[in-house]
Amino acid sequence: MKVKRLLPRNGPRPLVLVIMDGIGCASNTEGNAVSHAYTPHLDWLLAHCPFTLLKAHGTAVGLPSDGDMGNSEVGHNAIGAGRVYAQGARLVNEALATGRLFEGKTWQRLMNYCRQNQGTLHFIGLFSDGNVHSHLDHVKKMLEQAAFVEKIERCRVHILLDGRDVGETSALEYVVPFEAFLASLNQQAGVDYRIASGGGRMVITMDRYEANWDMVARGWKTHVAGEGRFFASAVEAIETYRKEIPGVIDQDIPPFVIADAHGPVGPIRDGDAVIFFNFRGDRAIEISRAFEEEDFDKFPREPYPKVAYAGMMEYDGDLHIPKSYLVEPPHIENTVSAFLCAEEYKQLAISETQKFGHVTYFWNGNRSGKFDESLETYVEIPSDRVPFEQRPWMKAAEITDRVVNEIASRNYDFIRLNFANGDMVGHSGVYQAAIVAVEAVDLCLGRIIKAVQDTQGVLLVTADHGNAEEMYEVDKKTGRVKRHPNGEPKAKTAHTLNPVWFIAYSASQVVKMRIDPSVKDPGLTNIAATLMQLLGVEPPTFYDPPLLLFEF
């Protein structure tokens, strides 16, 4: 038998790729909801199939440094594109470092608009250094430029508290130094810059995939109308809510409006300019639509001021949202779906609402459209609208019902799906719920293995980054879990730096697979070429190499 790098075109079908969102691989320590869950099917795959570990964070997925954890955008971009692209975080850093951002026509237009109308410059976005959706350093650089160079007199910052990509109750670690930064800016440049409103990112403004427009409507009321509960400062708002709602974590803090004796300090009015400073698109598209679309019907915008609006990046390259942006996004082309459509392969992409765009929009390089209507089917199972720690099974069973049927129907050459559980429940910080989430995924994995066996297909199991395998904060110096004064472990809600599994299971008796040992330091970008070799299509030379070797 000879070793080959490509299966025949009419090889085993279907090829099924399961992305277990937020399920990474780490040692079996306290707080690892993946290793402590009962996962007989994952264990079986690891015991019987070739597998390797893939890098899913840092420079391997186009982020600025290897200290940057992975995330869904860069993870799915990397899987779908087959090679590393410099991602938003890095591109904005570069545009600011070179000054290109400030020379660009969008920045100039906004500054002129403000000056001509004597308007206020507003910044809205995720207020942390998580580097997944945004980075606080970017906002600070823009505020300095506005104050010292552009001489914009009045700025207002609307802060979305994180606690999801950074420590769960870390808001004051950002707000307090930022207030000091603004105070010194005000003093040195003689300007009037303040925080004007805010709230938890899972309560206002940052909905995604149209899962819950009410969040955006609440954000509009808070930032634009300046309506809501008044506080003298963001610190007072956060401290008050923490007292009133014991155990509340930053992402869930209710909205607040900063007001003084004259009322709210920074509602958005005619003649103002607004910059949404997130670089990542999924949670920035809806609020951008609310600002830009004339005939918008998702909620009544009261008021709807006439402003100059820009996003940090273009968030949807297909629908061109927003119309105006500060930094060019990566132009991700020749994604694996484009190649598979050119070969006339039939493809199914399926997930629930929370991750639907991940297997479609992110997978296709931040494009919402299909490459070929007649070949591609996209299925969205509506997500529950509850905190996911209350329903950790989420819609895994419903996704699996459909997938199992479609495998049996042999309608598709390639099926890709995303199970949201490990990630969405991982972000809640509730350990017991994360265990249930991982077990729900494993139960479904068992059904998919069976369906693949029945059709003699091929199953690949991987993830886009880690999360549920580290549910507690660990002290980097001692390596021990951090604890609250009462001894309870401190929950970790963010993604991780851990690698993810890549497991290849061939149900066919004829095809034997193994991991190609010559591929050094594999990462998520090696998956696209692997899909192509399994479907009998020579991968393009600009893709990172495929992971498998075959005997048949």
Ligand X SMILES: O=C(O)[C@H](O)COP(=O)(O)O
Give least dist CB 357 to ligand X, A.
9
Tokens representing residue 551 in the block: 């005997």
Indicate the residue among 199 and 422 with the shorter CB distance to Mn ion.
422
169 makes contact, choosing from ligand X, Mn ion, none, with CB < 5 to 8 Å by partner type, with none
The CB-of-98 to ligand X minimum distance in angstroms stands at: 27
Concatenated DSSP letters for 380-422?
EEPPPSS-GGGSTTTTHHHHHHHHHHHHHHT--SEEEEEE-HH
β-strand partners of 472: 491
Sole residue written with tokens 């497991």: 503
164 binds ligand X (CB under 6 A): yes
- For residue 138, the partner it binds in Mn ion, ligand X, none, with Cβ less than 5 to 8 A by kind, is none
Q: Determine, following the binding rule CB under 6 A, whether residue 493 of this chain makes contact with ligand X.
A: no
- What are the DSSP calls for 320-340, one per residue? TBSSSEEEPPP---S-HHHHH
Find out whether 212 and 222 touch, Cβ atoms under 8 Å: no
Give me the residues paired with residue 523 across strands: 55
Q: Is 72 a catalytic residue?
A: yes
Structure tokens at 463: 């993830």
Residue 71, interface with ligand X (CB under 6 A)? yes
| 405-424 binders of Mn ion (CB under 5 A) | 423
| Closest residue to Mn ion using C-beta atoms | 72
Q: How far is the CB of 295 from Mn ion (least distance, A)?
A: 33
Q: Are 54 and 64 in contact (CB under 8 A)?
A: no
Helix (H, G, I), strand (E, B) or coil at 30: coil
3-state helix/strand/coil string of 146-202: HHHHCCCCEEEEEEEECCCCCCCCCHHHHHHHHHHHHHHHHHHHCCEEEEEEEEECC
21 is in an annotated binding site: yes
Query: Under rule CB under 6 A, which residues in 395-434 are in contact with ligand X?
Result: 423, 427
208 is in an annotated binding site: yes
Query: Does the footprint of Mn ion cover residue 360 (CB under 5 A)?
Result: no
- Part of the chain binding ligand X (CB under 6 A), chosen from 68-76, 99-107, 152-160, 300-308: 68-76
Q: Looking at beta carbons only, is 150 or 389 nearer to Mn ion?
A: 389
Q: Are 157 and 193 in contact (CB under 8 A)?
A: yes
Q: Site for ligand X (CB under 6 A): which residue of 68, 165, 352, 544?
A: 165
164 annotated ligand binder: yes
Q: Which residue among 72, 134, 383, 506 is the active-site one?
A: 72
- Binds 132, which of Mn ion, ligand X, none (CB < 5 to 8 A, cut-off by type)? ligand X
For 103, the enclosing helix (H) or strand (E) is helix 100-103
Query: Is residue 495 marked as binding?
Result: yes
- Is 252 annotated in a binding site? The answer is no
| Of 132 and 534, CB closest to ligand X | 132
Query: Pick from Mn ion, ligand X, none: which does 380 bind, CB < 5 to 8 A by kind?
Result: none
Report the distance separating Cα 248 and Cα 288, nearest Å.
28
Minimal CB distance residue for ligand X: 72
Residue 223 structure tokens: 């930032």
* Under rule CB under 6 A, residue 289 binds ligand X: no
Task: Give residues with Cβ within 8 angstroms of 357, minimum separation 6.
Answer: 208, 209, 282, 368
Residue 370 binds which one of ligand X, Mn ion, none, with CB within 5 to 8 A depending on kind?
Answer: none
Contact 459, 507 (CB under 8 A): yes
Return the amino acid letter for 245: I
* Burial category of 187 from C-beta neighbours within 10 Å (exposed 0-12, middle 13-18, buried 19 and up): exposed
Residues that constitute the known binding site for Mn(2+): 21, 72, 423, 427, 464-465, 495
Judged by the rule CB under 5 A, the positions of this chain that interact with Mn ion are: 21, 72, 423, 464
Residues that constitute the known binding site: 21, 72, 133, 164-165, 201, 208, 280-283, 355, 423, 427, 464-465, 495
Which residues are part of the catalytic machinery?
72
Judged by the rule CB under 6 A, the positions of this chain that interact with ligand X are: 22, 71-73, 132-133, 164-165, 283, 423, 427
